[in-house]
């Protein structure tokens, strides 16, 4: 068994594998329990120790609880709250957030979370402070060991600067580099843990035509404009460069990749064995971004 690199998640006691499991795909794509058991069982056997999900990723929490709840001590479990009745119906009232967290514990078949995150609430909601206080209450009650913010842009910047969160989960990839200047330097200064979401830019370059699913469209358009030369490499080489870019960004501790395919974990772990991206390659991607990115190229939720 190869041991995957691990990094301490900021000032927490969590030592996270650089490759984590992003739980949205298994929920939205309705993966079967059998697939999830193979996907996560194999990943845990091979050294992955971070699983991230959310209360609104359809059945994701229940699938994770049902398939690997019995191995709870072998991984760190992160989830999110704020959309207890579905993504389209956010609700930041403290009582609702606490009820949602209790439900997450039941679904995930655990009595504690390692991290509970506010799921992309607005800057105004963060400034009001009640939602953050609800997470602090959950931590006091022992429902979660740490609290975090998951989101982007000015709200993420406020979340970093307010000093109340242990971690930031934010978009970082070859197609989403706003965080590298806006939030990651202050997050590093405060020793916050940083979880890179959408770390492969959804591999949006694989679509020959504009994707029907709006979730992929912004990255698809950006990547057409960026036209990085390495995207013309063999598919695995291009994915490797994209993932190694994300994990070479200063301050990033773990990258959570979403998939429904059990073989992906081993494949992505193998792609990372080459380590950090060489400095000149990293600098070329940054330079191209600075040259092409428009002012509207904000962090994508
Ligand atoms: N606001 C928020 O808090 C928020 C928002 C978005 C995401 N997230 C979190 O971040 C996680 C990751 O985000 P994401 O899943 O949207 O983005 P992602 O990890 O950048 O992309 C996932 C896509 O990459 C493909 N993929 C993975 N490995 C591959 C490989 N070796 N070769 C080719 N394709 C590969 C997967 O397709 P296959 O199925 O073909 O493997 C999947 O469609 C989510 O699961 C979620 O936990 C949080």
β-bridge mates for residue 195, sequence order: 169, 254
The Cα 214–Cα 70 span in angstroms is 36
The Cα 103–Cα 240 span in angstroms is 37
pLDDT the model gives residue 58: 97
Q: Which candidate, 200, 218, 226, places its Cα nearest to that of 290?
A: 226
Q: How far is the CA of 196 from the centre of ligand 1 (A)?
A: 11
pLDDT the model gives residue 46: 84
Q: Give mean pLDDT, residues 152-162.
A: 98
Is the CB of 242 within 6 Å of ligand 1? no
pLDDT the model gives residue 2: 60
Is the CB of 273 within 6 Å of ligand 1? no
Strands, E, within the chain: which ranges? 6-8, 15-17, 19-22, 50-52, 76-81, 113-119, 144-150, 167-171, 193-197, 254-258
Nearest atom in ligand 1 to 54's CA: 47
The pTM (predicted TM-score) of the whole model is 0.98
Nearest atom in ligand 1 to 271's CA: 31
pLDDT of residue 1 exceeding 80 = no
Q: 263 pLDDT band (50/70/90 cuts)?
A: very high
Q: Give mean pLDDT, residues 134-163.
A: 98
In the numeric block, which tokens belong to residue 236?
């695995």
Question: 94 by DSSP, 3-state: which?
Answer: helix
In the numeric block, which tokens belong to residue 12?
């927490």
Q: How far is the CA of 31 from the centre of ligand 1 (A)?
A: 14
pLDDT of residue 15 exceeding 80 = yes
Q: Give mean pLDDT, residues 156-183.
A: 98
> What sign has the CA pseudo-torsion 294, 259, 274, 10?
positive
Q: How far is the CA of 21 from the centre of ligand 1 (A)?
A: 9
Q: How far is the CA of 198 from the centre of ligand 1 (A)?
A: 5
pLDDT the model gives residue 3: 81
Is the CB of 115 within 6 Å of ligand 1? no
Instruction: Please report, in angstroms and rounded to a whole number, the separation of the first and last CA atoms in the chain.
Output: 35
Nearest atom in ligand 1 to 22's CA: 45
Q: How far is the CA of 70 from the centre of ligand 1 (A)?
A: 25
The 10s digit of each residue's pLDDT in 207-253 is 999 999 999 999 999 999 999 999 999 999 999 999 999 999 999 99
Q: How far is the CA of 12 from the centre of ligand 1 (A)?
A: 25
Q: Name the CA dihedral angle for 162, 165, 169, 174, rounded to a multiple of 10 degrees.
A: 40
Pocket test for ligand 1, best of 52, 222, 258 (most atoms within 8 A of CB): 258
Q: What percentage of the chain reaches a pLDDT higher than 70?
A: 99
Burial of 157 (0-12, 13-18, 19+ CB in 10 A): buried
Element (H, E) at 182: helix 179-182
The 10s digit of each residue's pLDDT in 271-285 is 999 999 999 999 999
> What sign has the CA pseudo-torsion 107, 261, 203, 254?
positive
Is the CB of 35 within 6 Å of ligand 1? no
The 10s digit of each residue's pLDDT in 87-134 is 999 999 999 999 999 999 999 999 999 999 999 999 999 999 999 999
Is the CB of 175 within 6 Å of ligand 1? no
Which residue has the least CA distance to atom 37 on ligand 1? 259
Question: 99 by DSSP, 3-state: which?
Answer: helix
Q: Give mean pLDDT, residues 2-17.
A: 94
Is the CB of 27 within 6 Å of ligand 1? no
């Amino acid at each position: 068994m190869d041991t995957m690199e691990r990094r301490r998640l900021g000032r927490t006691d969590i030592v996270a594998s650089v490759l984590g499991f992003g739980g949205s795909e298994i929920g939205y794509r309705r993966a079967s329990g059998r697939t999830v058991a193979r996907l996560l069982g194999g990943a845990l056997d091979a050294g992955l120790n971070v699983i991230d999900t959310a209360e609104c990723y359809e059945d994701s929490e229940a699938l994770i609880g049902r398939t690997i709840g019995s191995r709870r001590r072998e991984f760190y479990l992160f989830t999110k709250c704020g959309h207890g009745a579905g993504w389209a119906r956010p609700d930041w009232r403290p009582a609702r957030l606490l009820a949602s967290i209790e439900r997450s514990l039941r679904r995930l078949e655990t009595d504690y979370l390692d991290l509970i995150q506010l799921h992309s609430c607005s800057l105004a909601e963060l400034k009001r402070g009640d939602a953050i206080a609800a997470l602090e209450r959950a931590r006091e009650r022992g429902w979660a060991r740490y609290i975090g913010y998951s989101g982007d842009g000015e709200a993420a910047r406020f979340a970093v600067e307010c000093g109340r969160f242990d971690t930031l989960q934010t978009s970082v990839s070859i197609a989403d580099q706003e965080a590298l200047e806006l939030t990651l330097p202050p997050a590093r200064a405060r020793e916050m843990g940083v979880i890179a979401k959408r770390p492969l830019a959804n591999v949006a370059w694989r679509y020959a035509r504009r994707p029907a699913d709006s979730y992929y469209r912004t990255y698809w358009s950006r990547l057409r404009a960026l036209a990085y030369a390495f995207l013309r490499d063999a598919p695995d080489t291009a994915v490797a460069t994209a993932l190694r870019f994300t994990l070479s960004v200063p301050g990033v501790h773990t990258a959570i990749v979403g998939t429904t395919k059990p073989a992906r974990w081993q494949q992505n772990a193998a792609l990372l064995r080459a380590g950090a991206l060489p400095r000149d390659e990293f600098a070329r991607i940054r330079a191209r971004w600075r040259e092409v990115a428009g002012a509207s190229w904000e962090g994508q939720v």
